[in-house]
Structure 1
Amino acid sequence: MAGIELPGSDGVSARRQRNIALLVAGTFFMEILDGTILTTAAPQIGRAFRVASVDVGVAITAYLLTLAVLIPLSGWITARFGARRVFLTAIAVFTVASILCAASPSLLLLTLSRVLQGVGGAMMVPVGRLAVLRVTKKGDLIRAIALLTWPALAAPVIAPLAGGVITTYASWHWIFLINVPLGLIAFLAARVLVPGEEPLRPAALDWAGLWLSCSALGLLVLAASLLSAPVPDWPALLALASAGAALGGLAVRHLRRARHPLLDLDALRIETFRVAHAGGWMFRLTISAVPFLLPLLFQDAFGWSPVLAGSLVLALFAGNMAIKPVTTPLLRRFGFRRVLLSATTGAALSMALAALLTVETPVVVIVVLMVFSGVVRSVGFTGYNTIAFADVGHGQMTAANTLASTLQQLAAGFGIACGAIALRAGSALVGADALGALGAGSEAFRIAFLLLALLTVPAVVEAWRLSPGAGENIRPSRQG
């Protein structure tokens, strides 16, 4: 919105602008941390509820997919009720849901509580960002955005080890209870810092698009949970999957025809955007499954402690961050096509190599593999995120950004489900009780990682088919 002064930026001191940005960054950190911290704690939660560790994945999936579904809705709600009111409500919902998660006596209630927690998280992220933008002057935007970026980098790095430490020295309940004092502090700070505003009158909400999208995703998640069960209920699974696919088709048809759709799909007609969210979607799907499966492999199959498992997964995210300063020079030197082709091929290779891990594998070899996996993950994410908007016009940018955020969050959510399904498939191939005995599940994990490697191949093909000059208009110059 070049040339338009953001509402509310006048009359807010630089110190207050910074404090609001720090507040919102803190809530982002909670939201992102809760998306990944359960992976290391899954075995302990599974034992508490007397279910397999892999079944806990449904609670992670439900949270991530709730975030994805409600991202498009957050903008309309903010315009209708005001950023301050929605942000305060989101913090309260997230905090109360965290208490319910800790008090859950079963996996079903934990999953439902995670859905409620996802509702709060989905409102905190975009609404909090908007609150920052509205009080920040143009000259301070770079500093404010930098503050909002660090949680996305730090939270995934801290989550595996934090989950391992909490479950080892306390209990899995504290993963959620720790949000309570943080939520109370954030709520009180938001009441003082975030200025009020007059609500707007947005266009009528696309209720049909919202209902079709939510119903389709809900049915597909239920189908995925049945597919990952030890003995799937095939009639129910097929019925849910068919209904979900049918409603998904109707949702796409509606979104293409509606005057004010919940999601504008026009950006998918642009090659670079389509590749970033077609092959890129499969890349994100399989890459998101890896941090879910690794802690289960280290704990359930190898018998290692949660702290050791979390520390090893930490190496994956360390590789993710270590390569960040090099990604721009890589894009400058080799271009998007070759970088994405290398990243997707490297990701598939890292999954195939993970299938070779055994309890006898030296820890240093595992760390090297984790770092390599983190490197290709980071390079791929940076390449896809950058090229996605290379050819998107200024007038399409807002709608394309919302669509991109939704698709990326969907890939992360379904990635956990994909990992659970792949592990169950491996278990079925090597024996129904393979996951029940310590060390016996190594073969099941081997098959799961090989399946993920195969699922990454479409992303490799999409990158190979990308036009050689794709993204040249935004490719960093050699002098820059």
Structure 2
Amino acid sequence: MESTRTQRYLPWIVATALFMEQLDSTIVNTGIPAMAASLGVTPLSLKAVVTSYILSLAVSIPISGWLAERYGSRRIFLIALGLFTVSSVLCGLAPNASLLVAARVPQGVAAAMMMPVGRSAVVRTFPKSELLRVMNFIIIPALIGPLLGPTVGGLIVHWLSWRDIFFVNVPVGLAALWLGRQFMPDYRTESPPPLDVVGLVLFGSGVALLSWLLEVFGEHTIPALQMTVLLLLSVVLLLAYGWHATQVPFPLLRLDVFKVRTFRISVLGGFVTRLGIGGLPFLLPLLYQLGLGLPAWESGLLMMPAAASAMFMKVMSSRLLRQFGYRQVLIVNTVLIAGGIATYSLIGPGASVWAIIPLGLVLGLFNSLQFSSLNTMAYADIEGADASMASTIASTLQQMSLSFGLAVASLVTVFFLADLPQSDHAAVTRALHHGYITMSVLTLVSSLAFWGLRKNDGESVSKGTPAQHEGEPRQSELS
């Protein structure tokens, strides 16, 4: 009975936490000008409000799995929820820019703990035959959060105060805390390994430096030579961690999880796919506002159809994966996403919103199916004991892919826009069209990764039966 109650409410708890995290990562950008005016500083100086959150998030994700194994998934998840809620209140009450930035750091740390720990608990609570249905439910906030963030943030700033952007998290966080205390399972390891401090320093500093460089990319605030040196340093730190992980018995992130083929293809192939998809929240407002000359509020509303269709696809994805299999769905769907992104190159000045809305609806369907497929196939052959490590690695790379996607979109935009005047809507639109084609080609290339899948891969999730390959052991047994 207790297990049934946990299975009933756990998806709601994790989905609520994910929605807060995803919404908070995008909603703040809209309020930066209002925050700057209220606090008496320049908008550029408040860039740290965003970067401090992203940096603390990137650095803290890798340690979340170890903390959950050491102190229990229930305790760490509840502490993260409480810290996120309290930090949100502190952000809303901040009297100056320095304290606002300081309050964003623990908020990022808390966000880093919530999703990997929550997703690991889901993988360990539900049988694989139920995983697709549950993940379909949980992944919806990840799809609609970034799309709703700019719109909701704009409405809150327009009608209320920028401080209410942070106070929105309070009732949601309290509800999640109440549910978490009642129904969050407590998974832990009896004899947890020691913390890999050297690995934490190498990987954490490498990821933090890389995330910061990607966040400030395109702002021309750092000389090119200095940017290149710092980029090389971040790569060296990450490579040093890769070597270190092979030399110690208990590394921070166990890279041997990548020996599971379905996990490797899902995470690494999905990383490249997200580069193209991750650039859309940056490119679409540019097309709508600079290319088509639409006001910000109308631009925000044009992001809504994709969120609506994403929720609808959760009903269809299970049937599609059951009928066609992960390999065929991911190959075909990635090509369709690339085609959808390329279609935006046909949208120009004078285009009717009734031509844009169907495109948003269709692309929302494709994106939803893609994320549902990637996020469930990753765990198809992962054993319960490796669920926490796999979730931590997947969350780390997903966060990095989103930062990379925005950076790539920024690079493409700067390259094609060059010094074009923003008042020349036709020229700006043509330049953005080249950007969409570039991101489309990048997404198309990522489909090649999914050719490495086999026909029956993922059937333990889509059909509830272990995939059987003739003359081949199960994936979890491969080395």
- With normalisation by structure 2, the TM-score equals 0.78
Question: What does residue 297 of structure 2 align with?
Answer: 307
- Residue 116 of structure 2 contacts residue 388 of structure 2 at CA under 8 Å; is this kept in 1? no
Equivalent-residue separation in structure 1 for 2:104 and 2:194 (angstroms): 29
Equivalent of 1:471, from 430, 447, 457? 457
Equivalent of 1:372, from 358, 362, 380? 362
Question: What letter corresponds to residue 379 of structure 1 in structure 2?
Answer: L
For each residue in 1:80-135, what CA deviation from the matched residue of structure 2 results, as whole angstroms up to 9, or x when unmatched? 445565445433432343355454866x986665443211112234456778999x
Question: What does residue 289 of structure 1 align with?
Answer: 279
Mind listing any 5+ residue stretches in structure 1 that lack a counterpart? 1-8
Are residues 164 and 462 of structure 1, via their aligned partners in 2, closer, same or farther at CA, if it must alter by over 3 Å?
A: same
Question: What letter corresponds to residue 151 of structure 2 in structure 1?
Answer: L
Are residues 74 and 168 of structure 1, via their aligned partners in 2, closer, same or farther at CA, if it must alter by over 3 Å?
A: same
Offset, 1:282: 0.8
Are residues 470 and 63 of structure 1, via their aligned partners in 2, closer, same or farther at CA, if it must alter by over 3 Å?
A: farther
Equivalent of 2:445, from 447, 454, 458? 458
Question: What does residue 477 of structure 2 align with?
Answer: none
Q: Does 1:425 align with 2:415?
A: yes
Question: What does residue 433 of structure 2 align with?
Answer: 446
**Pairing of 1:226-375 with structure 2 (within 5 A):** 226-230=216-220, 232-375=222-365
Are residues 437 and 116 of structure 1, via their aligned partners in 2, closer, same or farther at CA, if it must alter by over 3 Å?
A: farther
Are residues 329 and 87 of structure 1, via their aligned partners in 2, closer, same or farther at CA, if it must alter by over 3 Å?
A: closer
Equivalent-residue separation in structure 2 for 1:100 and 1:159 (angstroms): 20
Are residues 440 and 46 of structure 1, via their aligned partners in 2, closer, same or farther at CA, if it must alter by over 3 Å?
A: farther
Question: What does residue 155 of structure 2 align with?
Answer: 165
Which moves more between the two structures, 267-276 or 37-46? 37-46
- Residue 376 of structure 2 contacts residue 461 of structure 2 at CA under 8 Å; is this kept in 1? no
Are residues 199 and 384 of structure 1, via their aligned partners in 2, closer, same or farther at CA, if it must alter by over 3 Å?
A: closer
Mind listing any 5+ residue stretches in structure 2 that lack a counterpart? 466-479
Offset, 1:284: 1.6
Question: What letter corresponds to residue 123 of structure 1 in structure 2?
Answer: M
**Pairing of 1:196-235 with structure 2 (within 5 A):** 202-230=192-220, 232-235=222-225
- With normalisation by structure 1, the TM-score equals 0.78
- Residue 426 of structure 1 contacts residue 446 of structure 1 at CA under 8 Å; is this kept in 2? no
Offset, 1:290: 0.9
Question: What letter corresponds to residue 436 of structure 2 in structure 1?
Answer: F
Offset, 1:395: 5.2
For each residue in 1:258-310, what CA deviation from the matched residue of structure 2 results, as whole angstroms up to 9, or x when unmatched? 21111111132333322212222111222122123323433454443343222
Equivalent-residue separation in structure 2 for 1:476 and 1:19 (angstroms): 22
Are residues 116 and 456 of structure 1, via their aligned partners in 2, closer, same or farther at CA, if it must alter by over 3 Å?
A: same
Question: What letter corresponds to residue 442 of structure 2 in structure 1?
Answer: L
Which moves more between the two structures, 389-398 or 401-410? 389-398
Which moves more between the two structures, 182-191 or 322-331? 182-191
Are residues 357 and 171 of structure 1, via their aligned partners in 2, closer, same or farther at CA, if it must alter by over 3 Å?
A: farther
Equivalent-residue separation in structure 2 for 1:133 and 1:461 (angstroms): 28
Are residues 85 and 280 of structure 1, via their aligned partners in 2, closer, same or farther at CA, if it must alter by over 3 Å?
A: closer
- Residue 61 of structure 2 contacts residue 113 of structure 2 at CA under 8 Å; is this kept in 1? yes
- Residue 164 of structure 1 contacts residue 309 of structure 1 at CA under 8 Å; is this kept in 2? no
For each residue in 1:340-369, what CA deviation from the matched residue of structure 2 results, as whole angstroms up to 9, or x when unmatched? 122221222222222332341110111111
- Residue 215 of structure 1 contacts residue 247 of structure 1 at CA under 8 Å; is this kept in 2? yes
Are residues 189 and 336 of structure 1, via their aligned partners in 2, closer, same or farther at CA, if it must alter by over 3 Å?
A: closer
Q: Between the two proteins, what is the percent identity of the paired residues? A: 34
**Pairing of 1:132-151 with structure 2 (within 5 A):** 151=141
Give the RMSD, CA atoms, in angstroms. 4.3
Are residues 112 and 439 of structure 1, via their aligned partners in 2, closer, same or farther at CA, if it must alter by over 3 Å?
A: farther
Offset, 1:50: 5.2
Offset, 1:41: 5.4
Are residues 325 and 178 of structure 1, via their aligned partners in 2, closer, same or farther at CA, if it must alter by over 3 Å?
A: closer
SS in structure 2 of the partner of residue 278 of structure 1:
helix
- Residue 300 of structure 1 contacts residue 439 of structure 1 at CA under 8 Å; is this kept in 2? no
- Residue 77 of structure 2 contacts residue 118 of structure 2 at CA under 8 Å; is this kept in 1? yes
Are residues 275 and 181 of structure 1, via their aligned partners in 2, closer, same or farther at CA, if it must alter by over 3 Å?
A: closer
- Residue 266 of structure 2 contacts residue 377 of structure 2 at CA under 8 Å; is this kept in 1? yes
Are residues 346 and 407 of structure 1, via their aligned partners in 2, closer, same or farther at CA, if it must alter by over 3 Å?
A: same
Which moves more between the two structures, 267-276 or 247-256? 267-276
Number of equivalent positions: 459
Question: What letter corresponds to residue 455 of structure 2 in structure 1?
Answer: G
- Residue 76 of structure 2 contacts residue 113 of structure 2 at CA under 8 Å; is this kept in 1? yes
Are residues 230 and 352 of structure 1, via their aligned partners in 2, closer, same or farther at CA, if it must alter by over 3 Å?
A: farther
Which moves more between the two structures, 114-123 or 298-307? 298-307
Are residues 278 and 74 of structure 1, via their aligned partners in 2, closer, same or farther at CA, if it must alter by over 3 Å?
A: closer
Equivalent of 1:121, from 105, 111, 115? 111
